[in-house]
Chain A
Amino acid sequence: MSFNNLDQLYRSVIMDHYKNPRNKGALEENSVTIDMNNPTCGDRIHLTLKLNDGIVEDAKFDGEGCSISMSSASMMTQIVKGKKLDEALELADIFSKMMLGEDFDDEKYDLGDVEALQGVAKFPARIKCATLAWKAMEKGVNNENK
């Protein structure tokens, strides 16, 4: 059986992040903790962020979920590290637009591995898997930004 359309969803870079997640674990000191789950499917993420002087200094995640949700979490932690808080929020917004198939500014940031997730937009049932980690990050940063 050939699965050409599946290849749009499961790019090798996604599988690499799933099998070898970056920033897996939990930060212990001075960190913001966000627990979020996807009530329809049981995916869950435990995200810890170290926010200092308006910058995301470090990020780690733990959780359970499918290849899309876990690879997305891995990529998210990778890209937000070192970003200013409003940049992190802007990235979350760009990611959300990418998932909804809307236009977004692809010049401002080097999205790197995250671009591999673009194909998820064609699988409506899987968009929530991809956005879980980003929603968690947004919540953590927003709480700090108040």
Chain B
Amino acid sequence: MIPKEIKSYFPILNQEVNGHPLVYLDSAATSQKPIQVIEAVSNYYNLDNSNVHRGVHTLGNRATDSYEGAREKVRKFINASSTQEVIFTRGTTTALNTVASGYGRQNVKEGDEIVITYMEHHSNIIPWQQLAKEKGAVLKYLNLEPDGTISLEKVREIITPKTKIVSMMYVSNVLGTINPIKEIARIAHENGAIMVADLAQAAPHLKIDVQDLDVDFAGFSGHKMCAPTGIGVLYGKKALLEEMEPVEFGGEMIDFVGLEESTWKELPWKFEGGTPIIAGAIGLGAAIDFLEEIGLDNIAAHEHKLAGYAMDQLDTIDGLQIFGPRDPMKRCGLVTFNLDDVHPHDVATVLDMSGIAVRAGHHCAQPLMKWLQVSATARASFYMYNDEADIDRLVAGLRSAKEYFGDVF
């Protein structure tokens, strides 16, 4: 169960927007931050701020302990086998780019294949598109089933011994679909390919076990899981990270510098050039403590329930089309939809005037929009702090939007 007082942990939710109590339904874009995270960051700046792994002084030690302590929290959170496999990045985009320009450049050759899907976020398309262009490799897109899910049969067809990298999102930011990445990783490995998982929409909502999923690399962002913006994680299997060259040079990642040759620190610092995002990492550690206190299983169950309720309620609106699988157990807590004749931007503006925040646009997934044959959609996404009353407000807002646009036409 989600505690009743959950909203009280999120100070931002307690406000009026355009004369109405705020209903925040845009957590898939970024989640709100609980007071526990805000305090962890402000305590760090008030008491411990210092650079890490450098100073002999006390503040430096405190900052280093907190920063590395956060790494251990992340390790446990995703069940990595060692903190050497946990690299702090700016977010999922940086994590995926690091894999493409590090592992990808070293291992992909002309004629090799990289497999992604039509539902990917731009951040899990373009790094591979660029790599394929540079190397003369082939980028293959896995087609989706009509309900926006993935068929393992088609996965078996598209992955071949020529495939070097398979990269896929665990949870779709548009369709909400939870993809069978564990099975897909097995198929990738049978064909000698590595499996990269985009966990951006999964880590906030589902219990992640990278060893059980057996993915080779994974990336996620702190800001979608109650942590500050600007901090994220690249997970990689140690053996692969050891072989991989750094992609950013200088600062924190340096071991010894000569005039002609230099050497790097060991993992994970080899991939953390420059002064790291210390406050962000500490905030992420606090967010993980918070999520674990609430319980990831509770969060997932709450969201399945809300997704089911939202779809049932949205279905009562004439001319509303829902995208993605209808079984709430096959999806996370978000619903993407379009309202007949009313463009999603107009829907979002009308809802905003009622204090309801939703996302409208292509959700950084233009190939998926093309696949869905729409130019844009509206999306309501939920987190632990949303409840049925929020969805009732959304449905009432959509009815007014329909009425409003019906009247003016």
Contact = CB atoms under 8 A, between A and B. Distances in A.
B360 A41 contact: yes
A40 B349 contact: no
A12 B408 contact: yes
Contacts of A43: 345, 375-376
Given A42-B369, A42-B375, A66 B345 contact: yes
**A interface bracket (residues with beta carbon within 8 Å of B):** 20 to 34
A126 to B, nearest CB: 6
B256 interface: no
In the complex, which of the residues B345, B354, B376 has the most CB atoms of chain A within 10 Å of its own CB atom?
B345
A5 interface: yes
A129 B353 contact: no
Contacts of B354: 1
A15 interface: yes
Interface residues of B, number: 24
A9 B349 contact: yes
B59 to A, nearest CB: 41
A3 B345 contact: no
A125 B349 contact: yes
A36 to B, nearest CB: 14
A117 to B, nearest CB: 14
A41 B362 contact: yes
Question: What secondary structure prevails in chain B residues at the interface with A?
Answer: helix
A9 B400 CA distance: 16
B344 A3 contact: no
A85 to B, nearest CB: 31
Nearest to A11: B408
A64 B375 CA distance: 7
B393 to A, nearest CB: 11
B361 A40 contact: yes
A61 B366 CA distance: 22
A143 to B, nearest CB: 26
A11 to B, nearest CB: 9
B208 to A, nearest CB: 30
Contact of A3 (B343, B350, B362): B350
A67 interface: yes
B346 interface: yes
Contacts of B409: 15, 19
B88 to A, nearest CB: 28
B375 A67 contact: no
Contact of B404 (A6, A12, A125, A129): A6
B127 to A, nearest CB: 18
A75 B224 CA distance: 40
A65 B408 contact: no
Given A3-B400, A15-B409, A42 B349 contact: no
A10 B409 CA distance: 10
Interface in B353-367: 353-354, 360-362, 366
B353 A66 contact: no
A41 B350 contact: no
A104 interface: no
A109 interface: no
A25 to B, nearest CB: 18
A43 B408 CA distance: 22
Given A12-B408, A41-B361, A42-B376, A6 B350 contact: yes
B64 to A, nearest CB: 39
Interface string A64-103: 1111100000000000000000000000000000000000
Residue from the set A6, A64, A125 with the largest chain B CB neighbour count within 10 Å: A6
Nearest to A12: B408
Nearest to A42: B362
A44 interface: yes
Contacts of B366: 42
Contacts of B349: 6, 9, 123, 125-126
Given A15-B409, A40-B361, A44-B375, A68 B345 contact: yes
Contacts of A19: 409
Contact of A66 (B346, B352, B362): B346
Contacts of B362: 41-42
Given A15-B409, A42-B375, A43-B375, 9 more contacts: A6-B349, A6-B350, A10-B408, A15-B405, A40-B361, A41-B360, A42-B366, A68-B345, A123-B349
27 contacts: A1-B396, A1-B400, A3-B353, A3-B404, A5-B18, A6-B349, A10-B346, A10-B408, A12-B408, A15-B409, A40-B361, A41-B360, A42-B361, A42-B362, A42-B366, A42-B369, A42-B376, A64-B375, A66-B345, A66-B346, A67-B343, A68-B346, A123-B349, A125-B349, A125-B352, A126-B349, A129-B345
